[in-house]
């Protein structure tokens, strides 16, 4: 069960680490953080640097491909080498997945054409520019094993669903218990429909 997470400068850490923390518990899981080279990769905030465990050239197949988003994803939408690698690995996967704007990379690779998909709420138009039909759900499953998750933290929900698909509902619930995922945010502002206008204005002004 090889689960490959491509990382690139400017990725969003939680997009990758949220689902990682769930999927690593799958029996026989081998988690791979793959990058262009062996050089460390720094996230979008600039504070978190991870050491890849493989290069793209090392990886010719995967059971699960999990593509994180972030400003770095947007900067790679015309990176032919990355997109070609994604297409080649996708041809071998059982599940090809994304978190947040990772779906834009799937779209740019031509993997979402004619499919329903989701992304971060701020990037709906760009997602649709790749021929995907934006669907306002936390996790969107499509034929062919393509699953996209909404923004950042949605990767945790997606990973639990993926664990259910791969290992069954008991395992998925065990993993949820292991990470004590009993969410109790102090506010209910996690989507544009729920957040107050002042919070949207604060974000827009950053």
Catalytic residue among 62, 100, 146, 158: 100
Catalytic-residue membership of 100: yes
Please give the backbone phi and psi of residue 148, each rounded to the nearest 5 degrees, phi first: -115, 145
d(CA 74, CA 16): 16
First-last CA distance in the chain: 41
Judged by CB under 8 A, the residue of 37, 38, 51, 113 near a copy of itself is 51
d(CA 2, CA 5): 10
Instruction: Please choose, out of 40-48, 72-80, 89-97, 106-114, the segment that lies near a copy of itself by the rule CB under 8 A.
Output: 40-48
Are the C-beta atoms of 156 and 19 separated by less than 8 Å?
yes
Applying CB under 8 A, does 125 fall inside the site for a copy of itself?
Answer: no
Judged by CB under 8 A, the residue of 37, 49, 61, 129 near a copy of itself is 49
Q: How many CA atoms lie within 13 A of 60 on its CB side?
A: 0
Judged by CB under 8 A, the residue of 1, 116, 133, 195 near a copy of itself is 195
CB count in 10 Å sphere of residue 84: 12
Judged by CB under 8 A, the residue of 8, 20, 95, 130 near a copy of itself is 20
Judged by CB under 8 A, the residue of 6, 8, 9, 18 near a copy of itself is 18
18: DSSP letter: H
Q: Please, which of residues 154-193 interact with a copy of itself by CB under 8 A?
A: 154, 156-157, 160-161, 164, 169-174, 176-192
Applying CB under 8 A, does 153 fall inside the site for a copy of itself?
Answer: yes
d(CA 173, CA 175): 5
Please give the backbone phi and psi of residue 151, each rounded to the nearest 5 degrees, phi first: -65, 140
* Interacting residue ranges for a copy of itself, rule: CB under 8 A: 12-14, 17-18, 20-21, 24-25, 30-33, 40, 45, 47-51, 53, 100, 120-121, 138-139, 150-154, 156-157, 160-161, 164, 169-174, 176-192, 194-196, 198-200, 202-203, 206
């Amino acid at each position: 069960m090889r689960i490959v997470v491509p990382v690139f400068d400017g990725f969003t850490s939680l997009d990758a680490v949220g689902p990682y923390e769930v999927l690593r518990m799958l029996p026989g899981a081998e988690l791979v953080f793959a990058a262009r080279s062996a050089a460390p990769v720094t996230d979008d905030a600039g504070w978190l640097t991870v050491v890849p465990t493989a290069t793209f050239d090392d990886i010719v197949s995967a059971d699960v491909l999990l593509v994180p988003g972030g400003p770095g994803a947007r900067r790679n939408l015309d990176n032919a080498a990355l997109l070609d690698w994604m297409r080649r690995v996708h041809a071998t996967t059982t599940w090809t997945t994304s978190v947040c704007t990772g779906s834009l990379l799937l779209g740019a690779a031509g993997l979402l054409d004619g499919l329903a998909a989701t992304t971060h709420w701020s990037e709906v138009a760009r997602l649709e520019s790749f021929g995907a039909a934006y669907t306002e759900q936390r996790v969107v499953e499509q034929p062919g094993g393509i699953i996209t998750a909404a923004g950042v933290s949605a990767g945790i929900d997606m990973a639990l669903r993926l664990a259910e698909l791969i290992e069954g509902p008991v395992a998925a619930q065990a993993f949820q218990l292991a990470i004590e995922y009993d969410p109790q945010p102090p506010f209910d502002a996690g989507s544009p429909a729920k957040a107050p206008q002042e919070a949207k204005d604060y974000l827009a002004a950053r």
